[in-house]
Chain A
Amino acid sequence: MEFLLNNLLSWIIWFPLIGILIILFTDRKHESFIKWISLITIVIDTILSIYLLVNFDFSKTGFQFVEKKRWIEFINSYYFLGVDGISILFIPLSTLTTLLCILISWDSIKELVKEFYLALLFTNIAMVGTFCALDLVIFYLFWEAILIPMYLIIGIWGGPRRIYSTIKFFLYTFFGSVFMLIGIIYLYIKFGTFDYTILINQKYPFLVESLLFLGFAIAFAIKVPMWPVHTWLPDAHTEAPTAGSVILAGILIKLGAYGFIRFALPMFPQAALYFSKLMLVLSVIAIIYAGLVCLVEEDLKRLIAYSSVSHMGFVTLGIFSFNPIAMKGAILQMINHGIVTGALFMCVGIVYDRTHSRAISYYGGLATSMPVYAAFFMIFTLASIGLPGTNGFIGEFLILLGTYLSNKTMVVFGALGVIVGAAYMLWLYQRVFFQELNPNVAKMPPLKINELAALILPTILVFWIGLYPNLFLNFMTTSVQNLLMNLK
């Protein structure tokens, strides 16, 4: 176990590479073999990431499981990995999300199966790598590398307008990240290093710091997505296949918020404080605007996509109120949102596979034809609203509580968003599951074993975090306090 612990992060990141190589040299006729290989790879990877959680030391403030090897000495760039309380929870979340994606697309992906699982495993590598990277070049490499598989996943296996959506998604995020690239290079020219731990201790003139912050913020805000730059998300989410939506909702948009917490805030604290008002206003606009859009959406998937924008508004609200409680709430809410919205997308995917319709009016009375499914959907709906006892409550409550301590006006609007959220989700549930039984959905095949498995896992987490969040909050306590202490 010693060799494993020394390079645990590298193991978790690169382990799917074994699966990729096996699949690459497998004939495409053996589809079930390919599926099983990718499933086994990801299960082992998930176990490894849980092993990482178990070995994490709560009380330390700094980075753990650090690996630092020479990579490009020429530009002083290192293969530098490490996790702290902020990033640790996202690693099991990433592997778990990929696992769910494999389960949910077991039967629904019928063409180009080999490429699909290759893309999924590649996504897993890039996602976990992004959360572990502490060298800015490595971070950027992983950050951009995600675009390749996501471009393919949305574009090949997506819905009718997939090509428009995928190119929009790609160019939008690529556009954002090049500003970050300029910022990264500028930092290197100034300080001669890409090392995150050195860069957070630097002082800049305010103007430079603001420009750098804005450069990073554009990249992260597009990924989150914050209000004016959110337009790629509904298209991409809607047209992506179920697995693509789950990855987008579960991990990809978390990367933006994670980037804010990890890079933009500690590296440019003055600028972050200066722009925090603006960010708070944008977050509140996102919460309310997206919530109102949800009320009029006719498309099941698009509705949940917009609800993502609203929920991520809460996350950025929590981040930019600079309060330890709100910050912890924001990180927890990111994880909650990954679980709940991912699960909701899976739910939509399950009925979409059976009916090939996403229009809300197509459904109705589904609770009579698919009772078990309706129960699961109910759980995730309530979690999404933030009912006490579910994880959504803990996250939103902490964010609102923390924000109240630092900025009272914003909380009023934020809380309004909660009400709107309850309205559109419950109304959605009513229109889809109750009312008269729509003949379209009178005869529906029951849930398959893989779908059931994919739904049970998030259900457990919903209640676990909802009823005993302490375990998850413990991970981040020291790191968040440390982060905010450095900020002030």
Chain B
Amino acid sequence: MEITLNFSVILTEIIFILISSFIFLIDKFVKNKNYAFYITFITLILACYLILFVPFGEFTYSYKTDFYSSTLKLFLVVGTLLISLISYNYLQYYINLNSGEYYGLMLFSIVGAFLMLSGMDLVTIYLAMELMSFPVYFLIALNYAYNRPSLEGALKYFIVGSLGSVFILIGLGIIYYFTGTFILQKISQNLEKSLYLRELLVGFIFILIGFSIKLSLVPFHMWAPDAYESAPVPITSFIAGIVKFAVIATLVKIILIGFNSLRIEIGEVLIPIILASILVGNIMAIKQDNIIRMLAYSSIAHAGYAGLGLVSADYIGYSFTVFYMLVYLIMAIGTFSILVFLANFKRELLHIPSMASLCEKTPFVSLLLLVFMFSLAGIPPTAGFIAKFYIFMSLIKAKYVWVALIAILFAVIGAYPYLRVLKVVYMDKQEFEFKFKYDFTFLIPVCITVFLIIIIGIYPKPWTDIIYKTMYFYITSLFYPY
């Protein structure tokens, strides 16, 4: 048992923590608040570089950078870059939000996500998850300056999140009691010869509940619409995209490394939760008039669809889960960029019925919205379709034809809310004033995401390949050392 302290491996996280602390320290003394954006932007670009070139390796037993975590971290950093761009755009118009705290907290949250992806023992993952979540609670509450009830959303999220932490801790306790370790690899070794499989499954279910709360799966979804609505709009995309992506990728990693021999049972446990999420998310989205609430429910449904890959309980299914979440991350960033644009120039436009005849005022934005909505609904030739297609494929391969049938029928119901948005934008008529200008900080994220949506929809091969490869190396290096 030799413990290595290889600081170069953990360099990215260290830099993030230093810089966000630095922002907090000097924030009081700087008049021009844009500095925080520039620092964040440079840090994120630096992080891209570091992720690409930092060597793979371990920092004690609880932290490890490898192909899987580095690739997913890269996706996260690029996503955060786009979100920081739209945040900059948003903060130009909502100047009462404290820019320094905003970016500092965002960086802290990213550190949590990184540590989660790299964490190799359950306690590290738990702590990292808390580190990721706490700044998000603050970020939601930051909107207090504009939206008094936002405190309610933040508090709701905080309380439910704490409940999730409690569940995770109980699960950790049970697992430690029966295996005597927190380290994932050792858990997996103990699991193979363990007599207490059922007890360990119960322990894992407690952890799963904690993760489901972050993923807003039914019945732990109550916080989502309120939190989404009360957060600043870019932060909503952060919660919907980045946080969920990190959580689900970590969940996949925990199952892959730690609980591999239980994965079929875990899949069976997940079926009712997942189907309920798809059902509730899609049906509740139909009646929502606020587009952010609508997207909150749709994000519940999308988390459900992504989870279907976990139900299938094979490695390809897991890679499709991550792929689905990646596609959803892209769609969420794109859609919320458009919402940021609308909120900047006329906040009432976030109310769906008042979006009527938007296509006459901003044909360009409406066209982009069209692409995103069809992608969310899962219509080809967009990435949303390909992602759903893969998920259903893995399900049918795992002989869960009935689950696939139910999920696919709910996808038809789920198309309606998006069609409704398009209906209002393109087909309803009204007279209203709308003055706007296109900023680069809006155009860049939107164009990149739209481009990706269409490219992945037409030629998804490299994207699925890379995700499968990361996982494949993972599996082979862990279980087949030859």
Q: Interface of A with B (CB < 8 Å)? A: 28, 71-75, 111-112, 114-115, 137, 140-142, 144-145, 147-148, 151-152, 155-156, 162-163, 166-167, 170-171, 174-175, 178, 181-182, 185-186, 188-189
Stretch at the interface among B58-66, B172-180, B234-242, B404-412: B404-412
Contact flag A148-B426 (CB < 8 Å), given A186-B401, A189-B393: no
Q: Which of B404, B423, B460 contacts A182 (CB 8 A)?
A: B404
Q: Can you identify 11 A-B contacts, CB atoms within 8 angstroms?
A: A28-B363, A72-B461, A73-B461, A75-B393, A114-B363, A145-B379, A152-B422, A167-B419, A171-B415, A174-B379, A182-B392
| B468 at the A interface (CB under 8 A) | yes
On whether the beta carbons of B409 and A178 are closer than 8 Å, the reply is: yes
Other than the known A137-B389, A174-B412, A182-B401, what 9 A-B pairs have Cβ atoms closer than 8 Å? A74-B465, A115-B359, A142-B380, A144-B379, A144-B380, A163-B427, A166-B427, A185-B389, A186-B396
B148 interface hit (Cβ, 8 Å): no
A-binding residues in B (CB < 8 A): 359-360, 363, 367, 370, 374, 379-381, 385, 389-390, 392-393, 396-397, 401, 404-405, 408-409, 411-412, 415-416, 419-420, 422-423, 426-428, 459-461, 464-465, 468
A185 and B392 in contact, given A72-B461, A73-B461 (Cβ under 8 angstroms): yes
A interface SS class? helix
Which residues of B have CB within 8 Å of A185?
Answer: 389, 392-393, 396, 404
Which chain A residues border B389 with CB–CB below 8 Å? Answer: 137, 181, 185
Docked-complex contact A162 and B405, CB < 8 angstroms: no
Q: In the complex the two chains form, is A167's CB within 8 Å of B379's CB?
A: no
Main secondary structure of the interface of B (DSSP, over half): helix
Shortest beta-carbon distance from B438 to chain A in Å: 15
Residues of A within 8 A of B408 (CB): 178, 181-182
In the bound complex, what is the Cα–Cα distance between A166 and B367 (angstroms)? 18
How far apart are the CA atoms of A273 and B401 in the complex, in Å? 26
Residue of B nearest to A24 (CB): B367
Most central of A73, A111, A148 by chain B CB within 10 Å: A148
Q: Do the beta carbons of B380 and A174 come within 8 Å of each other?
A: no
Contact B461 A145 (CB under 8 A): no
A181 close to B381 (CB less than 8 A) = no
Known A-B contacts A28-B363, A74-B464, A145-B379; A178 and B396 likewise in contact (beta carbons under 8 Å): no
Q: Out of B385, B423, B460, name the residue touching A167 (CB < 8 Å).
A: B423
Q: Tell which of A72, A111, A137, A163 touches B423, judged by Cβ atoms closer than 8 Å.
A: A163
B426–A145 contact, CB under 8 A? no
Q: Point out the residues of chain B lying under 8 angstroms from A163, CB to CB.
A: 423, 427-428
Q: With A112-B359, A115-B359 as given contacts, are A145 and B423 in contact (CB-CB < 8 Å)?
A: no
Closest to B393 in A: A185
Complex-state Cα separation, A178 to B392, whole angstroms: 11
Assembled-state Cα–Cα distance A170/B422 (Å):
13
Bound: A58/B442 CA distance, A: 55
Does B405 contact A182, Cβ atoms closer than 8 Å?
yes
For A70, give the chain B residue with the smallest CB separation.
B461
CB contact under 8 A between A148 and B374, given known A28-B363, A155-B423:
yes
CA distance A74 to B427 in the complex (A): 40
Q: Which of A115, A142, A174, A189 contacts B363 (CB 8 A)?
A: A115
